[in-house]
Each structure stands twice: as C-alpha cells, then as structure tokens.
Amino acid sequence: MMKKKIKQDSSYLSVFEPTVTLKDKMSVLSALNKKYISGTSPIIREFENRLENQFSSNKAVAVSNGSVALDLAFQLLDLNENDEVVLPSFTIISCLAAVVRSKAKPIFCDVDSNSWNMTLQNVKDVITKNTKAILMVHTYGLTAEAKAIKEFCEDNNLLLIEDAAEAHGQTVDDQLCGTFGDIATLSFYANKHMTTGEGGALLINDEMYYEKALKMRNLDFDNSRRFQHDNFYWNYRLSGLQAALGISQISSIEKTIEKKIKQASIYNNILAESEKLQIPLISNQGSRNHYWVYGVILKSKSRDELSNYLHNEGIQTRNFFWPLHMQNVLKEEFKPKDSLQVSESLGRQGLYIPMGAHLSKQDQIRIARKLLTFVDG
C-alpha cells in the first residue's frame, strides 16, 4: 500500500512535540544574558547539581546526548574482547554500539511479552562464565526487573549499567530508576519527559569513575597542565544554553508524567475494547507505567498497513525498535544461534501512536477510533 502525500500542517497529529514553556524560554534567555553559552560555563555544574539532588547521586556528568552517555559508561569499565555484556535485543542501537565500541562481546537476551522489558530470567538464560556486565534498559515507560537484576549482579560480582533514558522520573517500589546501576545513563532528547533538545548525563557513585568521566568528556584537559594530554578523549560537553533549558524543564517532570498517565487512560478505555490489539500494561513489578510512548501490538493484521492507513488519516506513527540481533551492521560472530521470539515479534508487529501535551482529548479519541476501525473492520 502506497502512502499518500499528506501536507503535515497543524492538523497532522505527530507522534510527539516537545513542550517549551515561557519559563523555559526565560531560563535560556537568562543564560544568554550572562553569556553562559559554552560547555564550560558554571551553569553546567548547576544543572548537574539539580540532577544529583533528584537522584541522590554522588555525582552527575552532563554530556551532549544519551548515546554518548552510554559510550562513556562502557569506556569507564575497561572491558576487553573476552568480556561479555548481556543486553536486551529489544532496544535502541546506541546500546549495542556502546558495547561494541568498548571491545566487549554483546550477548542478547529476549524480553517479557507483556512488559516488553528484560527480566532476571531473560538474563539468566544467556549468562556465561565470561559475563562481566549487564546493561539493564527500561523500555517505553515500564521498567526492567530492576531490583532482582541488581541483587543478582551484586551476588555474582557483575557490573550493572542502567539505561534510564526512557524512565526519567520512573520508580520501582519508590526507588528512582537511575539509582540501581553502578553507572546510570539518561537522555534529554526532545521526546523525553524533560529535554535539553539534545543532551544526556551519567549518574556515578564511584569517585574514580567520576574523575575519569570528567576528563573523557573534555578532551583529557587538565587545568594544571593545560594542552598537555595523556589520552585521545572526546568533546562530549553539553552547552550552557542546553543546561539552562534543562534546569527549567527538570522542575516540571512530574507534571509531564502525570499528563501522560491521564492521556494513556483515554487510550486504554477505548482500545481495551479490541481483542485484536495488545496495549501496554498499566503497571508491572512495583512500577506504574509512565507511558514514555503509547505502544500497541497487532495480533493479526499488518502493522505496516495500519501505519499507512493512519498516515493517510493525518496521524503519525512510529514502528517499534527493530531487534539488535537482526541489525545488518552486526557481525555474524555476535548473532545468537537461537531466535529471540518476543523481540522479533515486537519488532514486526508493534508501533506507537501520538502522545503529549500537543494533543487534545478529542484528538486522542479520534486516533483511537481510527485505529479500531482498521483493526476490527
């Protein structure tokens, strides 16, 4: 089915739009007036302090994006080609890239068919004597089995990296996501619960890792002997203007999450009518769904045909992650021998529909009704 060309004007319902308030604009303007523009401005530390206060973390390191945060997290571990890292196949390519660039071997686990997240059993299914670290990823607004995986890592002397990019503000039994890992990473991309446009951060409780991360994000500069370097590191700095936006946005994150939960209830009430759809769990493993996105899985009809149909009705969708173990870029030696059935099914049949403050209740009802017309028609 060919997609019609739709003029994407104000009537086209996009999957997301960032929310930028007058308060946000004033914060950025204030930074401009103070000339806090660069990645070495004092406002960077102010933003990091806000993150440390939110997460009760010893140290936060702000960086240019969430993918960079993952890269730095794995570079800090000093892994080698004999070390294995377990990660879910159903997640963003940045996770795989960070593991591969660290020289470690990625070992893919499947995810739970209901929560779409990794469980402790998924980890146990693939762990070996060469496993050195687990990359625990929270996906689409629900969480991995964080408490069980953390306890397992502690009992087996495994490092735990926690990707909380899609779970900022999320909790498991009142413990914030981002506080379970030895190192945690965040993303502040435009579609996250809070944004700096681009941007990310590491949350670190180890002083040695923290000091090294500061050097790694800043070309190995040392103020005591400036322009003398011992390592080829990177410029991964966040700008002062981005930090100013982050300082304003972080104070509104709970309001943003509550808005999304209310929006999800509208979709749930309508879409639960259909037996031909799987909709997200409302809660799981002591965690309430924060609906970073609102995903649906088609049990019979074609996901791609639904996407085309909704596009022609002026409604944008996005496909679910394509499993990492099926990526063209992956070397054959890293591909698992057995299929990961849940991840593969999600990749083929899942998509998410518009969510965010740009939608009215009437918009959501229209989206849900159009979706049901296709699925049940």
pLDDT, tens only, 321-336? 999 999 999 989 899 9
| Better-predicted residue by pLDDT, 50 or 56 | 50
Q: Are residues 242 and 257 in the same domain?
A: no
State the average pLDDT over residues 161-189. 96
Q: In sequence order, what are the residues at sequence separation of 6 or more whose Cβ sits closer than 8 angstroms to the Cβ of residue 287?
A: 142, 143, 170, 171, 172, 173
Listed residues 189, 224, 250: the one ending a domain: 250
| pLDDT (0 to 100) of residue 223 | 75
Q: Taking Cα atoms as reference points, which of 354, 19, 373 lies closest to residue 195? A: 19
Does 362 lie in the same domain as 232? no
**Which residue did the predictor score with more confidence, 222 or 139?**
139
Same domain, yes or no: 168 and 60 = yes
- HSE of 71 in the Cβ direction (CA atoms, 13 Å)? 17
Domain match, 52 and 194 both: yes
pLDDT at 18 (0 to 100): 93
CATH code, 334: 3.90.1150.10
| pLDDT of residue 224 exceeding 80 | no
Q: For 294-321, how does the pLDDT look when each residue is reduced to its tens digit (9 = 90+)?
A: 999 999 889 999 999 999 999 999 999 9
Whether 228 has a pLDDT exceeding 90, the answer reads no
Q: Is residue 284 part of a domain?
A: yes
Q: What does the pLDDT read at residue 377?
A: 76
Would you say residue 9 has pLDDT above 70?
no
Alpha carbon of 202 to those of 60, 187, 219: distances in Å?
6, 9, 17
| 107-160 tens-digit pLDDT | 999 999 999 999 999 999 999 999 999 999 999 999 999 999 999 999 999 999
Sequence-ordered list of residues with C-beta below 8 angstroms from that of 219, at least 6 positions apart, any chain: 229, 233, 234, 235
Does the pLDDT value for residue 247 go beyond 90? yes
Residue 337 lies in a domain: yes
* pLDDT at residue 226 tops 90: no
Token pair 């049901």: residue: 372
In sequence order, the β-bridge partners of residue 159 are 133
- Do 194 and 275 lie in one domain? The reply is no
**Structural domain includes residue 170:** yes
* Residue 8 pLDDT level (bands cut at 50, 70, 90): low
Q: Are residues 115 and 221 in the same domain?
A: yes
- Total domains present in the chain: 2
Q: Which range of residues forms the domain containing residue 286? A: 253-376
Q: Among 250, 265, 295, where does a domain finish?
A: 250
Query: Over 60: is that where the pLDDT of 249 sits?
Result: yes
Looking at the structure, tell me whether residues 174 and 301 fall in a common domain: no
Query: Predicted confidence band at 229 (pLDDT cuts at 50, 70, 90)?
Result: confident
Whole-angstrom CA distances from 61 to 53, 126, 238 are 13, 32, 9
Query: Residue 53's pLDDT band (boundaries 50, 70, 90)?
Result: very high
The pLDDT score that the predictor gives to residue 11 is 83
Residue 63 lies in a domain: yes
CA dihedral 309, 310, 311, 316 (to 10 degrees): -150
232 & 321 share domain: no
Residue 6 lies in a domain: no
pLDDT at 63 over 90: yes
Instruction: With a cut of 60, say whether residue 1 has pLDDT above it.
Output: no
Same domain, 244 and 277: no
- Residue 245 and residue 264 in one domain: no
Q: What per-residue confidence (pLDDT) applies to 298?
A: 95
Same domain, 227 and 368: no
Does residue 192 sit within a domain? yes
Residue 47 maps to which CATH number?
3.40.640.10
DSSP string, 172-230: ETTEETTSSSSEEEEE-BTTSSS--BS-EEEEE--HHHHHHHHHHTBTT--GGGTT--S
Residues 235 and 346 in one domain: no
The pTM of this model reads: 0.94
Q: Is 1 in a helix, a strand, or coil? A: coil
Residue 10 pLDDT level (bands cut at 50, 70, 90): low
Beta bridge partners of 86: 107, 134
Residue 7 falls within a domain, yes or no? no
Of 250, 284, 301, which marks where a domain is finished?
Answer: 250
Give exposure, 100-111, as e/b (b: 16+ Cβ within 10 Å).
bebebbbbbbbb
State the CB neighbour count (10 A cutoff) for residue 256.
20
Instruction: Note whether residue 2 is domain-resident.
Output: no
